[in-house]
Amino acid sequence: MSRSSPHRPRRRWTLAAGMAAAVLAASVGLPRITRAAEQVPDGTFDANLGSWYAYGVAAGPSLTGGALCVDTQDGTINPWDAAIGRNDIPADLGQGYQLSFRAMASREVVINANFQHASGGFEVIAGGTPLIGTTWQTFTLNGTAQTGFADGQIVFQVGGKGAFTICVDDVSLQGGVAPPVYVPDTGPRLRVNQIGYLPFGPKRATLVTTATAALAWQLRDATGAVLRSGTTTPRGVDATSGQNVHTLDFSTYTRAGAGLYLTADGEVSYRFPIGAGIYEQLRKDSKLFFYTNRSGIAISDAIAPGYVRAAGHVGTPPNRGDTAVSCQLARDFMSFWTCSPSFVRDVTGGWYDAGDHGKYVVNGGFSVALLMSEYERNQRARTADRRALGDGTLRIPESANGVPDLLDEARWELEWMLKMQVPAGSGDPGIAPYEGMAFQKVQDEAWTGLPLDPAADTMRRELHRPSTAATLNLAAAAAQGARLFAPYDPAFSARLLAAARTAYQAARRVPALFAPDADGNSGGGAYSDGDVRDEFYWAAAELFLTTGEAGYRADVLADPLHTSGGLFSVEGFSWNTPGALGQLDLATVPSALPGRDRLRAAVLKAADDILAVQSRQPYAQPYAPASNSWTWGSNSQILNNLIVLGTAYDLGGASKYRTAVLEGVDYLFGRNALNHSYVTGYGTVSSQNQHTRLYAHELDAALPHPPPGAISGGPNSGLQDPLALGKLHGCAPQFCFIDDIQSYSTNEIAINWNAGLSWVASFVADLDSGANDGH
Q: How far apart are CA 349 and CA 242, in angstroms?
A: 45
**Distance from C-alpha of 403 to C-alpha of 406, rounded to nearest angstrom:** 9
Name the region of 434 (left: φ>0; alpha: ψ -120 to 50; beta: rest).
Answer: alpha
SS (H, E, C) 589-612: CCCCCCCHHHHHHHHHHHHHHHHH
CA atoms within 13 A of residue 743's CA, in its CB half-sphere: 27
CA distance 647 to 372: 14
N-term to C-term CA, the chain: 36
Count CB-CB contacts under 10 A for residue 131: 12
Query: Which residues are known catalytic residues?
Result: 356, 691, 739, 748
Cis geometry, peptide bond prior to residue 451 (ω within 30 degrees of 0): yes
Peptide bond into 622 cis (omega under 30): no
The single-letter code of the amino acid at 211 is A
User: Left, alpha or beta for 155 (phi > 0: left; psi -120 to 50: alpha)?
Assistant: beta
Would you tell me the crossing angle of helices 405-419 and 280-292 to the nearest 10 degrees?
Answer: 30
In 3D, which of 676, 775, 668 has the Cα closest to residue 185? Answer: 676
Beta-carbon contacts of residue 225 (< 8 Å; ≥ 6 apart) = none
Tell me the C-alpha distance between 408 and 411, whole Å.
Answer: 5
Instruction: Give residues with Cβ within 8 angstroms of 543, minimum separation 6.
Output: 475, 476, 479, 500, 501, 504, 549, 552
Angle, in degrees to the nearest 10, between helices 405-419 and 361-378? 150
Residue 79: closest CA among 155, 166, 169 = 155
Q: How would you label 357-383 residue by residue, b for 16+ Cβ within 10 Å and e otherwise?
A: bbbbbbbbbbbbbbbbbbbbbbeebeb
Amino acid identity for residue 362 in this structure: V
In degrees and rounded to multiples of 5, residue 229 shows phi and psi of -145, 165
Per-residue buried b or exposed e for 583-616, using 16+ beta carbons within 10 Å of the residue's own CB: bbbbbbbebebeeeeebbebbbebbebbbebbee
Phi/psi of residue 357, each to 5°? -100, 15
| C-alpha separations of 327 from 345, 430, 468, 767 in Å | 9, 9, 17, 48
- Alpha helices (runs of H) in 343-404, residue ranges in sequence order: 361-378
Query: CA torsion, points 343, 347, 352, 354, in degrees to nearest 10?
Result: -30
